[in-house]
Amino acid sequence: MIRNYFKIAWRNLKKNKFYSIINISGLALGMFCSFLIWFWVKDEMSYDRFYPGYEDIYFVRCNSDFNGKVVTSGLTPSPLAEALKKDVPEVAFVTKLAYNRNLLINFGEKAGKENGLYASDDFFDVFRLPAIAGNPKDALVSPDHIVITRNVAEKYFRDISPLGKTIRLNNDKDYTVGAVIENIPSNSTVQLDWVVNFKETEQEWMQLWGNTMLRTYVRLHPEAAPENAEINMKGIYPKYADMDVIPILQPLKDVRLYSDYKNGKPSGGGIEYIHIFMIVALFILAIACINFMNMATARSSLRAKEVGIRKVVGAGRNSLFKQFISESILTSLLGLLLALGLVKLMLPAFSRFLRRPIEMDITDPTTLISIIVLLLITGFLSGSYPALYLSAISPIHNLKNKLKPGFLNAAFLRKSLVVFQFTLSIFLIISMIVINGQMQYMRSENLGLDRERVLSIPLEGELYNKMEPFKQEVLRSAAIENATTSAMLPIDIGSSSGDLSWPEKDPDLQTNVSVMHVGYDFIQTMNIELASGRDFSKDFRTDSLAYLINESTAELMGMEDPVGKQISFWNGEAPVIGMMKDFHIQSLHMPITPLVLCLDPLNSSQMLVKTRAGKTAEAIQDLEKLTRKFNPNYPFEYHFLDTEYEKLYRTDTMISTLIRYFGILAMVISVMGLLALAAFTAEQRTKEIGIRKVLGASVTNIVTLLSGNFTRLVLISIVIASPIAWYTMHLWLNSFAYSIELQWWMFILAGSVVILIAWITVSGQSIKAATANPVKGLRSE
């Protein structure tokens, strides 16, 4: 019986090729989008779950009271790790990690930069990474040993065993390779190519509880409850630091997905994007299914006699329902096969876009189950109403071609589905316009400093030791306008301190100001505007103790004219010599915060070079020659500041691009459905059009008649979609401290585009029908 159902279904598909192609193509595009999003979501949800016993691994965050508000930080002080191991019985192992560093590795004549980190003794007890050679745990405990990954071993040692070999790290110290571990998968929040014991970089000032600069991870005993561990952790800061700080635990599997905290609790992060794109996938799949339902209900009158005859000869409603569902599932199956082919074709490009490998493993049980579930859902969703509708009509109505009237009759449902379909499409198009507008705003917004024609060069090796002579040689180049040094990039200042004080400060007021060490000419090189005072100058020896602040810092201190006033900060009590106008020191997601600049050229890691207009290529050539002259053991490396700025919005840019592509696909699927409906409507009204033409109706009259109904449906969709899109985009824009305003023209533009596309689609079929010979139409019956 089932074989017969599918045989009849196949015959109907072949009989109506045009509509079959529309249905199959629409479903294929909808499934294609759903599969791409599913594989991406699956990859996101897999982060850190490959570690053996990952359920027992936790990331330590700290909640602190800041002027009555709970602030959560992922940075912890160095002594916290020892206290956790000593005072919390639930903790089996604990490790602290310094942030990753891209350092030079030398082995013989081979040299290159590799990304690694410094970690404390228990690292390989917390993160149980598979070893290829040697014992990673024993190797890490030894301060003169280094653990490397398979990639590094193959790159520098090729066919020889790296164990016991000596490599030089950062052209500074020799380490013996003690172990080789497997490469870290891309779906890990902890990435490294090498690891050395943290003791190699630990300094006395790091032992202060107020210096938070490390990441801390713990592995609890398998039977331990994290709630009990957190209860015991509450007593650590009162015992050792007398600070109002409470350590909390976050499961390792949640670190990527729930990176944002509010009032001490996880409030979002990567999970928000997963939710967004899962909704987008449902939208697009629903649009594709609506196409099928619309065409099935529209063409139901053509099959009424078939259903009636089947009922007369004994077919029951259940049998008819199965037949129509079989047709729907067969159409979905063909769409599924086409969609899988498209995924296979596009997945490499999708992986390159996401900058990590996304795989489609059909043999994976989860993937296989998801494919089957998607097929069944799509098949039943697309065919359920047509099957129920046609199978429920009485044989007499069927044979007379009189379909059942009612509130949910075919015509009403068809119009409702078109409205719903275009509502989703218009919503995506409005979102696309708003998101693109915000991306353009971020790229063009005046940051308050120059990022164009500015290069950053890492001060490594001899470049650091000969910083001033190197700078003077750089300034001799005719292609270079200015140069300065800094501890970090001014567009992403991550260092902060609560040490700022001034004579009138309220003793209960807690402060947290961003801070950066800079060299001479920083203000001039970055073209930062001074509101008052002056820049650091070699003409004033006392400037090594002085401070530059921004307007937000002056506002924090309640000073209208802070220049000349004494403040207390890292350099001790000293005067403010200049006040900068506020400039953005982080992404536009974050508000401008108080900032203090300290003059300390020796505490620099970057040289910032401003090139002359039109001479960037020449400047790079000069910089490469000078770098090789001063620092021959290191490869020449530079980065454009505007490129680094773009990296701050990598996720936002990715979301913008995906929304754009998926929005276009949603519109394409909707238009395909509209095209099929318009063609069918024109076909059904052939006789009416012939009579109208005989009675004198013009082509324009007929086109307007046939297009009017569809135009009204699109207008209703615009009215419904606009307030929903306004509310949703308003919430999204609120995630930025600085954003565009929602403008009326965005909604008008989206609506106009959709109406224009709908008119072109429908008018094509309408004109074809209107220009046909009326004699043929009148002979149709």
Query: Which of 606, 641, 676 is where one domain is finished?
Result: 641
Residues 6 or more apart whose CB falls under 8 angstroms from that of 288 comprise 26, 27, 29, 30, 31, 335, 378, 669
CA 512 to CA 501: how far, in whole Å? 11
Residues 459 and 509 in one domain: yes
DSSP 17-56: HHHHHHHHHHHHHHHHHHHHHHHHHHHHHTTTTTSTTGGG
CA 655 to CA 661: how far, in whole Å? 10
Cα–Cα nearest to 64, from 210, 226, 208: 210
DSSP 436-484: HHHHHHHHHS--SS--TTEEEEE--THHHHTHHHHHHHHHTSTTEEEEE
Query: Which of 591, 607, 641 is where one domain is finished?
Result: 641
Tell me, yes or no, whether 572 lies in a domain. yes
**What confidence score (pLDDT) does residue 482 get?**
94
Residues 501 and 629 in one domain: yes
Residues 6 or more apart whose CB falls under 8 angstroms from that of 632 comprise none
Tell me, yes or no, whether 297 lies in a domain. yes
Q: Cβ-count burial of 225 within 10 angstroms (0-12 exposed, 13-18 middle, 19+ buried)?
A: exposed
Residues 200 and 293 in one domain: no
Q: Locate 101 and state its tokens.
A: 């560093």
CA 272 to CA 258: how far, in whole Å? 9
CA 68 to CA 260: how far, in whole Å? 19
Residues 75 and 189 in one domain: yes
Cα–Cα nearest to 569, from 602, 593, 589, 598: 598
CA 260 to CA 268: how far, in whole Å? 5
Angle among Cα 318, 320, 322 to the nearest 5 degrees reads: 70
Residues 300 and 288 in one domain: yes
Tell me, yes or no, whether 49 lies in a domain. no
Q: Locate 507 and state its tokens.
A: 């003793």
Phi, psi of 184 (to 5 degrees): -75, 125
Which residues lie across from 262 on neighbouring strands? 265
Q: Locate 60 and state its tokens.
A: 């330590």
Tell me, yes or no, whether 446 lies in a domain. no
Q: Locate 655 and state its tokens.
A: 């979301």
Residues 166 and 253 in one domain: yes
Residues 376 and 510 in one domain: no
**What confidence score (pLDDT) does residue 406 get?**
44
Helix (H, G, I), strand (E, B) or coil at 547: strand
Total Cβ atoms within 10 A of residue 540: 12
**CB contact at 8 A, 228 and 42:** no
Angle among Cα 582, 588, 591 to the nearest 5 degrees reads: 55
Residues 6 or more apart whose CB falls under 8 angstroms from that of 255 comprise 47, 48, 59, 189
Total Cβ atoms within 10 A of residue 295: 25
CA 692 to CA 686: how far, in whole Å? 10
- Residue type at 214 in one-letter notation: L
Residues 556 and 581 in one domain: yes
Which residues lie across from 167 on neighbouring strands? 175
Cα–Cα nearest to 597, from 574, 624, 623: 574
pTM: 0.83
Residues 74 and 194 in one domain: yes
CA 42 to CA 32: how far, in whole Å? 15
Tell me, yes or no, whether 537 lies in a domain. yes
Q: 3-class secondary structure for 140-201?
A: HHCCCEEEEEHHHHHHHCCCCCCCCCEEEECCCEEEEEEEEECCCCCCCCCCCCEEEEHHHC
Domain count, the chain: 3
Cα–Cα nearest to 484, from 449, 511, 512, 439: 449
**What confidence score (pLDDT) does residue 327 get?**
76
Angle among Cα 671, 673, 678 to the nearest 5 degrees reads: 90
Tell me, yes or no, whether 367 lies in a domain. yes
Supply the range of the domain harboring residue 66.
54-268
Task: Find the distance separating the first CA and the last CA of the chain, reported in whole Å.
Answer: 36
CA 709 to CA 358: how far, in whole Å? 44
Query: Which of 590, 617, 641 is where one domain is finished?
Result: 641
CA 63 to CA 246: how far, in whole Å? 5
Residues 6 or more apart whose CB falls under 8 angstroms from that of 2 comprise 322, 326
**CB contact at 8 A, 206 and 22:** no
The alpha helices in 648-743, defined as continuous H runs, are 650-684, 686-694, 699-733
Handedness of CA 258, 260, 264, 265 (dihedral sign): negative
Task: Report the phi/psi class of residue 16: left, alpha or beta, with left for phi > 0 and alpha for psi in -120 to 50.
Answer: beta
Tell me, yes or no, whether 448 lies in a domain. no
Tell me, yes or no, whether 579 lies in a domain. yes
Residues 613 and 512 in one domain: yes
Residues of the chain with pLDDT under 70: 1-16, 296-317, 319-320, 382-411, 676, 678-699, 702-703, 705-706, 764-781
Return the biggest CA–CA distance within the chain. 106
Angle among Cα 364, 367, 371 to the nearest 5 degrees reads: 135
Residues 276 and 240 in one domain: no
- Residue type at 278 in one-letter notation: M
DSSP 75-128: -EETHHHHHHHHH-TTEEEEEEEPPPEEEEEEETTEEEEEEEEEE-TTHHHHS-
Q: How many residues does the chain have?
A: 781
Helix (H, G, I), strand (E, B) or coil at 518: strand
- Residue type at 418 in one-letter notation: V
Handedness of CA 773, 778, 779, 781 (dihedral sign): positive
**What confidence score (pLDDT) does residue 221 get?**
95
Phi, psi of 448 (to 5 degrees): 90, 0
Residues 707 and 727 in one domain: yes
